[in-house]
Amino acid sequence: MPKVRRSKKPPPDGWELIEPTLEELEQKMREAETEPHEGKRKVESLWPIFKIHHQKSRYIYDLYYRRKAISKELYEHCLNENIADKNLIAKWKKQGYESLCCLRCIQTRDTNFGTSCICRVPKAKLEEGKIVECIHCGCRGCSG
């Protein structure tokens, strides 16, 4: 099994603690990329990739900010090696975006009316019984 991509620089201390989980997520990503997409809509075939990308970034974010289990050097190494999405993590640190699913859901240029995605609307403001699914990443509500 190939290792998680790394630069020539050796990783900081603590890498061996997070490496198995990152390799597992990388394997899931490869499986999602090679999964057949017959019978799915064009956008539906990308949803598993967005989900795994979110999981990987959330894993690094939680280790550093919530559990404080990794060092700043290891955290920055993961961001510089693009193991975690630094732009998504930057949004998670802002109030109101703590559970954001992907960056496409807040980009207004991707929607018809220049607004954010439907998954950003609080469930209390939606019709009861209506199932909402984001067309970008398949999220069912990340507004909180």
Mean pLDDT, residues 118-140: 86
Please list, in sequence order, all residues whose beta carbon lies within 8 angstroms of the beta carbon of residue 86, skipping any fewer than 6 positions away: 79
What is the spatial distance between Cα 92 and Cα 139, in angstroms, rounded to a whole number?
16
* Residue 23 reports pLDDT greater than 90: yes
In the chain, the amino acid numbered 138 is G
Q: pTM for the whole thing? A: 0.88
* Residue 1 reports pLDDT greater than 50: no
Closest CA to 64 of 81, 79, 51, 48: 79
Contact indicator for 31, 25 with CB cutoff of 8 Å: no
Calculate what percentage of the chain has a pLDDT beyond 90. Answer: 58
